[in-house]
Amino acid sequence: MSARHAIVVGSGLAGLSAASQLLSHRVPVILLERAAKPGGNSIKASSGINGAPTSYQPVAEPLDAFYLDTVRSAGLAMKTLTAHREQLIDTLTEHSASAIHWLVQDKGVDLSKVAQLGGHSYARTHRGKGQAPPGFAIVSALLKNLKENPLLELRTSCSVTKVLQSSQRVTGVEYECEDGQKKELHGPVIFASGGFGGDAHGLLAQYRPDLNGYPSTNDPRPGTQPILTAAGAKLIDMDQVQVHPTGFVDLASPDTPLKFLAAEVLRGEGGILLIDGERFVNELDTREHVTNAITSRPATSDSPKQWTVQVVLDEATYNAAKSHVDFYIFKGLMKKTTIAELGPNAQETIERYANAVNETLKDPFGRTSFANWALKDPKLDSVVYVGIVTPVVHFTMGGVLINQKAEVLQDDQKHIEGLWGAGEVTGGVHGGNRLGGSSLLECVVFGRIAGNQVAEFLKETS
């Protein structure tokens, strides 16, 4: 491999997008991945990737709607570093349509089905029509494409342990593979090593001790931000951790701390949430809001910390999310049943929801998008699909601060030469609450920007 290669750390969607972009400039890439298999958390993504405007959206949206939704969702965090955050959000949303275009046109991924997730004012979360979940479809397409290119070298089971520097400039990384030998690689570095939602006893305990005992959708793994702070990187929003309202409680092993995610798309396609047979929230409000509406009530278990919430779909909603629900039924996480089995009050509750859908009554929780729900006259023997869910640690909004060029910053202005960052390892773009579908988007947008920047850097310094 040529000495003019680039180093990418992490083979989730951010790393794969960066590597793809570098290869499009004919820059050789060494991709280092700590796990035995590539794909990171990205391969598990279940609801889709945001983009607007696209031809797949059922309703055309005003140009700034996605930007404004993201700012609103970021909340109070926008009060600090306001201009910087606005620039990052602008970059994210401005490049969202081209991110979808790139995946569809250049990489052959089907993203033709669109749903409206929580906190979004328009349907803009894209997934495919087939059986493959969006994370798997996107990651597999990029990996296949990359592996066909002789300029890519993927080294799995190799963990980066240190960023190498000379006169404050990043010159490469130290890493260790299965033989336990420390080795060095030299070249510009893109860090795409993901979040710390799985680092329960490390960074999560340090920054959010109050979340101790919550289950998670993230496999246990240490966060990598300390490797970057050791090289001078500035951290932002490390205490901003997203608790997703709906992780499945598997009744066969209800106490396992690692939960399978009940994709937000279940609610996006029309599904509702019930506690003791009653709705209690606009299911399409932001995750932060929906989670708070659950966790403000007494937990039903302390270890792990869990609540008992039902996610309920009617037949039409099931059909819209069929590939998801069939898989959850196969895994024993959902079942087909009748309203009678949901418990007391459920029939009346569903009747009120049906009235809101039919526009005979305003929804008391302010929900305005009901997507595919079609059950108009719920009876005790009406068919529904149900699973038990509970809030789960899902995503870390905080991380190393980057700028619009994906350069890792040491303070608000100055970047660290030779070091770029993309994806969940970075912070600032989502503020206090990430919108569903915007993580895959940030991986593609900032991963590609980082790839372009490093290609440019190599051209200038050769």
Which sequence positions are flagged as catalytic?
244, 267
Q: In angstroms, what is the minimal distance from the CB of 269 to ligand SIN?
A: 12
Q: x/- site string to ligand FAD, residues 382 to 421, per CB under 6 A?
A: -------------x--------------------------
Q: In the window 312-371, what residues touch ligand FAD (CB under 6 A)? A: none
Supply the minimum distance, in Å, between the C-beta of residue 264 and ligand SIN: 3
Q: Rounded to the nearest 5°, which phi and psi values hold at 367?
A: -75, 135
Contact 395, 241 (CB under 8 A): yes
Q: Which residue carries 């990430």 as its tokens?
A: 434
Instruction: Evaluate whether 441 touches 434 at the Cβ level (below 8 Å).
Output: no
Here the tokens at position 238 are 């490390």
Nearer to ligand SIN, 241 or 263 (CB): 263
What part of residues 5-24 is at the interface with ligand FAD (CB under 6 A)?
9-15
Q: Apex CA 406: angle with CA 175 and CA 238, to 5°?
A: 75
Nearest distance from C-beta of residue 136 to ligand SIN, angstroms:
12
We find the least distance from the C-beta atom of residue 44 to ligand SIN, in angstroms, to be: 9
Is residue 70 part of the contact set for ligand FAD (CB under 6 A)?
no
> Judged by CB under 6 A, does residue 118 bind ligand SIN?
no
Looking at the Cβ atoms of 29 and 333, the one nearer to ligand SIN is 333
Binding ligand SIN by CB under 6 A: which of 13, 111, 173, 263? Answer: 263
Would you give the binding string for ligand FAD spanning residues 194-233, x where CB under 6 A is met? xx---------------------xx-----x---------
x/- mask, ligand FAD, residues 152-191, rule CB under 6 A, reads -------xx-------------------------------
| Residue number, 356 or 422, with CB nearest to ligand FAD | 422
Q: How far is the CB of 260 from ligand FAD (least distance, A)?
A: 7
Q: Are 140 and 207 in contact (CB under 8 A)?
A: no
138 interacts with ligand FAD by CB under 6 A = no
- 42 contributes a contact to ligand FAD by CB under 6 A: yes
- The partner in contact with residue 247, picked from ligand FAD, ligand SIN, none with C-beta cut-offs of 5 to 8 angstroms by kind, is none
For residue 338, count other CB atoms closer than 10 A to its CB: 16
Nearer to ligand SIN, 46 or 433 (CB): 46
Least distance between ligand FAD and beta carbon 133 (Å): 8
Q: How would you write the chain as a 3-class SS string?
A: CCCCCEEEECCCHHHHHHHHHHHHCCCCEEEECCCCCCCCHHHHCCCCEECCCCCCCCCCCCCCHHHHHHHHHHHHHHHCCHHHHHHHHHHHHHCHHHHHHHHHHHCCCCCCEEECCCCCCCCCEEECCCCCCHHHHHHHHHHHHHHCCCCEEEECCCEEEEEEEECCEEEEEEEECCCCCEEEEECCEEECCCCCCCCCCCHHHHHCHHHCCCCECCCCCCCCHHHHHCCCCCEECCCCEEEEEEEECCCCCCCCCECCECCCHHHHCCCEEEECCECCCCCCCCHHHHHHHHHCCCCCEECCEECCEEEEEEHHHHHHCHHHHHHHHHCCCCEEEEHHHHCCCHHHHHHHHHHHHCCCCCCCCCCCCCCCCCCCCCCCCCEEEEEEEEEEEEEECCEEEECCCCEEECCCCCEEEEEEECHHHEECCCCCCCCCCHHHHHHHHHHHHHHHHHHHHHHHHC
The answer to whether residue 38 forms part of the interface with ligand SIN (CB under 6 A) is no
Q: Which residues pair with 272 in a beta bridge?
A: 312
Minimum CB distance to ligand FAD smaller for 39 or for 378: 39
Phi, psi of 83 (to 5 degrees): -65, -40
**Which does residue 12 bind out of ligand FAD, ligand SIN, none, counting CB within 5 to 8 angstroms by kind?**
ligand FAD
| Rounded Cα gap, residues 228 and 192, in angstroms | 11
Interaction of residue 437 with ligand FAD, rule CB under 6 A:
yes
Closest residue to ligand FAD: CB criterion: 12
Nearer of residues 194 and 245 to ligand FAD, judged by Cβ: 194
Question: Which of the ranges 167-175, 296-304, 344-352, 435-443 carries the binding residues for ligand SIN, by CB under 6 A?
Answer: 435-443
Partner interacting with residue 160 (select from ligand SIN, ligand FAD, none; CB below 5-8 Å by kind)? ligand FAD
Residue 103 touches which of ligand SIN, ligand FAD, none (Cβ within 5-8 Å per kind): none
What is the sign of the dihedral through the CA atoms of 265, 266, 270 and 272?
Answer: negative
Is 49 a binding residue for ligand SIN by CB under 6 A? The answer is no
Question: For ligand SIN, which residue of 11, 46, 159, 171 counts as binding (CB under 6 A)?
Answer: 46
Q: Binding of ligand FAD at residue 286 (CB under 6 A)? A: no
- Positions touching ligand FAD (CB under 6 A) are 9-15, 32-35, 40-42, 44-49, 134-135, 159-160, 192-195, 217-218, 224, 261, 395, 423-425, 437-440, 443
- Positions touching ligand SIN (CB under 6 A) are 46-47, 261, 263-265, 395, 436-437, 439
